[in-house]
Structure 1
Amino acid sequence: MKLRLRNHTTFALSLLLLGSSACARGSASGGTGREDNFMVSNGQGISSPGFGEGISGQNPAGLINNQRIKIQMGAATFDNSTQNAQGSAALLMGNGFLAAGAEYSRYNAAPFARGTSLINGGLALRMSTLNMTLGVSGHLPQPQGAAQFDLGTLIDLAPALRFGAMVPNVTNGVHIVASGFTYSLDPSIDLVVDAAYGLGSGDGTVKPGMSIHTDLVQATFAYGLRMMGVNDVLLYPKLTGALGLKLTDNILVEYTYRGLPEHRLGLTLRFN
């Protein structure tokens, strides 16, 4: 038992120390503040979060990529019927220094213990002198339930390298830590590796991915590895991907596949 606990602790600390040591070596860049045409994320959404999904379950620092006013609508399914379908609407805005978002999600069934709706909100602040973005998001189940909060950061380590970290649901203490890196192989290809670790359960996931993007199209692909306990590493069959299309300068559509039977369709309207 002591050996298992020591290995768990070492793994968690390694994730944090890896990011900290890289931050100490990093050089200046403005990568986390650039406008992203598309809403899709890559990996586990830690180092390459989508600009809309940062409100609900991904790194909230990703909201900083909103540099316009956006209205986002989406519909998703979680099984082969419509019993676990979800519809959502969100308002996103930002100016490159400060970004905010609010979202309302409605579920056919009750995925939460005390409600079938979820109100999400998030803020992100860009600290240019430190090449860092900080983010926080809150989630309130309806009609009743306790609010939960996520914390996240994105740090530019070099012109082509970004580090991300996130601690979900800090309301009840720190139980999961997640971190990752995104490397821009060239202006149209990003490579991503995200990892998450449960401090109590000893389970972890590592999810490498790739994003290919142009001014009109973005495609992402990722595959997860799940670590059970200390030494047992099993394939985690969670192939995910997304395709975003820019129909006009102000109309974006997106399809996300999160492993059978999870699918999502999204529409974003941009203003100003």
Structure 2
Amino acid sequence: MKLKKLGKAILLTTLVVGLLTGCSGGSKEDKTIKVGASPTPHAEILEAAKPVLEKEGYELEVVEYDDYVLPNDALADGSLDANYFQHIPYLETTVKEKDYDLTYCAKVHIEPMGVYSNKIKSLDEVKDGAKVSVPNDSTNEARALQLLAANGLIEVKDGELITAKDITKNPKNIEIVEVDAAQVPSTLDDVDLAVINTNYALNVGLNPTKDAIVIEDSNSPYVNIVAIRTEDKDSDKAKALQKALNSDEVKKFIEDKYDGSIVPAF
């Protein structure tokens, strides 16, 4: 009889220990933050934020993406806790087009878009019929066209999501070549000008402040943000990410590493 009671006690103890272990495992998993990011500079900045997150008890897992579509898809379907690769207009456009319930929890940095060339040194050298490659996604194409317009090459209609069809004056008959954003740098030998996002410029060794013919000024509205699901906006993970990526440590890292080509937005 005593042996049966002892056996039951041991069994009960084993079950309790198992349950506690399971809870501990779940707790550890909850302390992992999985963030999708472009390799440069986003993943690099996230690496700089890791020690700050570790102090808060979180482990950061960075998943790198080479395009602008998959990170939002993965965030929406729950594969990621957050992503960090885009500016606010791009996120807003994606939410509208795909009906994703996404928002953002932190503004981190600005990457000035630049105009580059392997053929000319100044916009004064642009010839009639010049080819200009731009990103083909709606927000970045509009941004590129607005940069060209701001520097007198073309005139465009007012509006956020303009395309080449919205060019109202084109005195030099510029031909706009629409290319996937990640592939724009590879067109440099085939076009007269290429309007390139800073992260992709850095990927091929171009420094916006040194190599671009012109770049956006510091008033650019295209701040890069940490996107999350709206339901997670007030979560501990979102708060931890915001705190880490807006920390003094990350600000110093951005300023030291990118030498003005990327500007903290906090």
TM normalised by structure 2 equals: 0.28
| Structure with higher RCO (Cα < 8 A, 6+ apart) | 2
Larger-Rg structure: 2
Q: Which has the higher strand share?
A: 1
Task: Give the TM-score of the pair, scaled to structure 1.
Answer: 0.27
